[in-house]
Amino acid sequence: MTETDPAVIFRIFNEIGIIEQLSRALLEARLPPPLIAAHFAVLSHLRKGRDGAVPIDMARAFQVPKTSMTHTLKGLERHGYVILQPNPRDGRSKTVWLTDKGRALEERIMVALAPEIAALMEGVEVEKLVSILPVLTDLRVYLDAARDAPQLPSG
Amino acid sequence: MTETDPAVIFRIFNEIGIIEQLSRALLEARLPPPLIAAHFAVLSHLRKGRDGAVPIDMARAFQVPKTSMTHTLKGLERHGYVILQPNPRDGRSKTVWLTDKGRALEERIMVALAPEIAALMEGVEVEKLVSILPVLTDLRVYLDAARDAPQLPSG
DNA sequence: TCCATATAGTTCGATATTGTACTATATGTA
DNA sequence: TACATATAGTACAATATCGAACTATATGGA
């Protein structure tokens, strides 16, 4: 019988926005300047069995414009954390590879983050936290689909 | 008996980051250029019974540096959506007020957003969505507290 | 094969974000 | 009251973000 107040939706997005900012700040405090979260996201992606990924695919995975990805990769490359190579399967594109330095950095950061994660898992109720993951995923999938479906679904 | 995999925590932050980007893009598509989400956040805050708010308080509420708030307010002021006045209670600070134009814009955006919210509430399971709000709040509170408590709590 | 169209990446320019340093005002204490 | 310290806001500079326009390559159909 209870109608859900649309304001609840706004509050959810609000909390999500603030959590994003706080967690990003927390991560960036562990990164060697001038690296930021965008750089770490790439290193982490490549480490998760995706070494050799194509820039446009990473841009889509992170939901950022390809120009932003170009900029991020240029920064990582300049500091020797990744190298870009031609994509043998598509002359328009490239592939991105971790250097030893890049791999070492990613591992070092994960080690530095481990106690933070452990503390978090003591500070909040972990079961509840874990339980929201599928809901977040549903929400993300919905928003992703709604992105290019402007108003009415075609008939 | 089951140990929670720390990777779950990373995936939660990952989803949150993507949802933040998607929802921001969705909002900004409804804003008259050159306004962005940061501007709307201020208008919305002032409309929620906080007209006359002090810039530093909004910076804290949104977890952004005060220099960012200065910049955002300058943009809103330039386009006539807010006016800044001296704070009679503190000569160092100011108060921020919606103009009629600013109030009208905020209302217009909320109206434009209503069908988006309605569609979302049909596209995802609303009870589940509502149920994650308190968990998100707990997480936000934890991260906020952890922000300035570097390593060990001073036993 | 030829060509229209699509796609990957870059360049460029406008604006956003944020740390540092500064000014002005407030506050607490001797 | 006087002064040390804290706080609100701004100016500036470095970098990030991102849309528009461009180049190069790929793809699909006549």
* Extents of the domains making up chain A: 6-147
Whose CA is closest to A95, among A35, A45, A41?
A45
Does the structure show a pLDDT above 80 at A149? no
Whose CA is closest to B69, among B54, B81, B83, B80?
B54
CA distance, residue A21 to nearest chain B CA (Å): 7
pTM of the model: 0.89
> What pLDDT shows up at residue B154?
34
Residue A113: its H or E element: helix A100-123
Cβ contact, residue pair B12, A120, below 8 Å? no
* One CATH from 3.90.1150.170, 1.20.1270.10, 1.10.10.10, 3.30.450.40 for B7-147: 1.10.10.10
The chain A residue lying nearest B138, using CA atoms, is A124
Residues whose CB falls within 8 Å of the CB of residue B139, separated by 6 or more in sequence, listed in order: A15, A19, A124, A129
Which residue, counting CA atoms, is nearest to the C1' of nucleotide C20? B67
Query: What mean pLDDT do residues B75-91 have?
Result: 96
Residue environment code for B79-107, b if the CB has 16+ CB neighbours within 10 A, otherwise e = bebbeeeeeeeeeeebbbebeeebbebbe
Categorize the per-residue pLDDT at A153 as very low, low, confident or very high, splitting at 50, 70 and 90: very low
Mean pLDDT of chain A: 90
Whose CA is closest to A123, among B135, B16, B50?
B135
Contact B74, B53 (CB under 8 A): no
Contact A94, A54 (CB under 8 A): yes
CA Rg, chain A, in Å?
Answer: 19
Does the structure show a pLDDT above 50 at B151? no
State pLDDT tens for residues B89-107: 999 999 999 999 999 999 9
> What pLDDT shows up at residue B56?
97
CATH code reported for the domain at A6-147 = 1.10.10.10
Distance CA A62, CA A140 (A): 12
State pLDDT tens for residues B120-150: 999 999 999 999 999 999 999 999 888 755 5
Burial zone of A54 (CB within 10 Å; 0-12 exposed, 13-18 middle, 19+ buried): middle
Name the nucleotide with the smallest C1'–CA separation from B91.
Answer: C25
